Homo-oligomer: A and B are copies of this chain.
Amino acid sequence: MDVMPVSDLSHAAQNYLKLIWSATEWSPAPITVSVMAERLGVRPSTVSDGIKKLAGQGLVTHAPYGSIELTDAGRAHAVAMVRRHRLLETFLVDVLGYSWDEVHDEAEVLEHTVSDTLIDRMDRKLGHPVRDPHGDPIPGADGRPSMPKGTQLSAAAAGNTVAITRISDADPQMLRYFTELGLAPDTRLTVTEHRPYADVTTVRVHEPERDIDLGASASDAIWVVAV
């Protein structure tokens, strides 16, 4: 079985591959059937069937009750889907004036139906961007791997001054909250303190100078690099 173009995979297969890949982008733990089912809004039995089929196509390795791992071919498809998704998000924001909390769902649908040509033209129009509106790295057309990842704000040492490099796009409502706070990719801030049992991280941001308290979910969603 040859390398097949993205378009030869069913939408469901594309989603499975992207999700498996995404699970390991920011944390090392491999994904499970039930987590996949929950994220995709389907039953575990559906995912179990789907994974079996992907394994038959040589896109993942999986023995019953075993872990789910992408093959090289599967990873290539997954990365291509991620590239599509993130270029679309960038295009919707930069060209069509979407806000960063609106783009995820639209991109989720379009990533399956736009042609490679359209992806290339968007990429060119945008000047070959390397990050999407949430700061997530956009893989190149050759599937080149991601940029440096940074660490979660919740794990950054107190006292350090850092720049936001990405903010997880999982929760649009949280994104709107960050917009209100003036937190976005490239915002610089100083980590004031972590208060462990309250699960609160306090940061200081400039212009205007202010202190912000962030709970665990917020400080896990924000990734930073030292500046």
Q: Which residues of A contact B (CB under 8 A)?
A: 92, 95-98, 102, 106, 109-110, 112-115, 117-118, 121-122, 125
Contact = CB atoms under 8 A, between A and B. Distances in A.
A121 B109 contact: no
A96 B110 contact: no
Contacts of A92: 118
Contact of A122 (B96, B115, B121): B96
A110 B114 contact: yes
Nearest to A120: B96
A97 B110 contact: no
Contacts of A121: 96-98
Contacts of A113: 109-110, 112-113
B95 A118 contact: no
22 contacts: A92-B118, A95-B95, A95-B125, A96-B118, A96-B121, A96-B122, A96-B125, A97-B121, A97-B125, A98-B121, A102-B117, A106-B114, A106-B115, A106-B117, A106-B118, A109-B113, A109-B115, A110-B110, A110-B113, A110-B114, A112-B113, A113-B113
A90 to B, nearest CB: 14
Contacts of A95: 95, 125
Contacts of A114: 106, 110
A99 to B, nearest CB: 11
Given A102-B117, A106-B117, 20 more contacts: A92-B118, A95-B95, A95-B125, A96-B118, A96-B121, A96-B122, A96-B125, A97-B121, A97-B125, A98-B121, A106-B114, A106-B115, A106-B118, A109-B113, A109-B115, A110-B110, A110-B113, A110-B114, A112-B113, A113-B113
A88 to B, nearest CB: 10
Contacts of A117: 102, 106
A213 B115 CA distance: 36
Nearest to A109: B113
A96 B117 CA distance: 10
A98 B96 CA distance: 17
A96 B95 CA distance: 10
Nearest to A92: B118
